[in-house]
Amino acid sequence: MEKELNILVTNDDGINSPGLEVLARAASKFGKVAIFAPDRQQSAVSSALTINRPLKVQKYFKNKEFYGYAVDGTPADCVKMALTTLLDFKPDLILSGINHGKNTSINVMYSGTVAAAVEGVMAGINSIAFSITSHSLYVEMKAAEEYAVKIIESVVSRSWDTKILLNVNIPAIEAGSIKGIRVTKLAKSYWNDWFERREDPFGNEYFWFAGDYITSDHDKETDDTAIEDDFVSVTPLKFLFDDVDTIKKIKFVESLR
């Protein structure tokens, strides 16, 4: 690299997650790394912001060395905290992950990993969310790290007319078994979910979220299919919410009296 970059690294699994360490190491090949991550597991918190209570930010140490900042909030809080308040520079790149568990299809709406990257691109910074397709904290990440480095390199070595948001999912298999990278769209998968009804030790009812992820969309161009086919999936995302087609259909409400 000609230029040392400033890179913000975050995640939703929390500052102690092995995946965060792998991504920070990958990022360090390109410049200086600042870590701002939730102090605990924050999976599925979407773009949640903490507005009703204050946040504490603690310096977090690994082997007695300063490692990064732990925020007792969400991934979106972490990125906003870094960009608006605690970093004295604007990062050139924001990386989120490596999430333990895949974030394909509808999961991008719920994922805190992706939400952190969304905050990045909204602030005008190229942002990449990374996930590996295993929830295990002990999953081998050698291949994931190699692909993260390749994808970061490809993003930072080009100029972009508009900032980009990429969602990368890496199969949890050996490097030699990964067939390459596929640029994808989101599959039309969904969760068939429910709450398991249980009883606490006092006989009181409680409910625990559960679900099956249903991938019935086997279109070759989707993220879920790429993963099934042992490819790394790279999906460009945008978060826009206007339903322009329906504006015409609903226009009649303007005449309600």
CB of 192 to a copy of itself, least distance (A): 9
Report yes or no: 171 and 232 within 8 Å, Cβ to Cβ.
yes
CB of 209 to a copy of itself, least distance (A): 5
Between 63 and 133, CB nearer to a copy of itself: 133
Binding mask 1-40 for a copy of itself (x = CB under 8 A): ----------------------------------------
End-to-end CA distance of the chain: 64
Report yes or no: 26 and 148 within 8 Å, Cβ to Cβ.
yes
Of 110, 106, 41, 48, residue with least CA distance to 79: 48
Q: Which of 2, 65, 88, 254 touches a copy of itself by CB under 8 A?
A: 254
CB of 95 to a copy of itself, least distance (A): 16
Q: Token pair of 16, please?
A: 């102690």
Q: Which of residues 126-155 bind a copy of itself (CB under 8 A)?
A: 150-151, 154
Q: Token pair of 118, please?
A: 């969304």
CA atoms within a 13 Å half-sphere pointing along the CA-CB vector of 136:
8
Q: Assess 180 for contact with a copy of itself (CB under 8 A).
A: yes
Span near a copy of itself by CB under 8 A; candidates 20-28, 61-69, 170-178, 205-213: 205-213
Q: Which of 110, 173, 214, 228 touches a copy of itself by CB under 8 A?
A: 110
Report yes or no: 78 and 10 within 8 Å, Cβ to Cβ.
yes
Q: Which of 2, 65, 88, 242 touches a copy of itself by CB under 8 A?
A: 242
Span near a copy of itself by CB under 8 A; candidates 24-32, 89-97, 137-145, 248-256: 248-256
Between 64 and 250, CB nearer to a copy of itself: 250
Q: Assess 207 for contact with a copy of itself (CB under 8 A).
A: yes
Cα 109 from Cα 99, distance rounded (Å)? 15
Report yes or no: 140 and 98 within 8 Å, Cβ to Cβ.
no
Q: Which of 84, 159, 177, 216 touches a copy of itself by CB under 8 A?
A: 84
Q: Assess 218 for contact with a copy of itself (CB under 8 A).
A: no
Q: Which of residues 35-64 bind a copy of itself (CB under 8 A)?
A: 41, 43-52, 54-57
Torsion sign over Cα 216, 220, 221, 226 = positive
Q: Assess 170 for contact with a copy of itself (CB under 8 A).
A: no
Cα 101 from Cα 172, distance rounded (Å)? 9
Element (H, E) at 183: strand 180-183
Q: Assess 220 for contact with a copy of itself (CB under 8 A).
A: no
Q: Token pair of 123, please?
A: 């602030």
What are the backbone angles phi and psi of residue 161, rounded to the nearest 5°? -75, -30
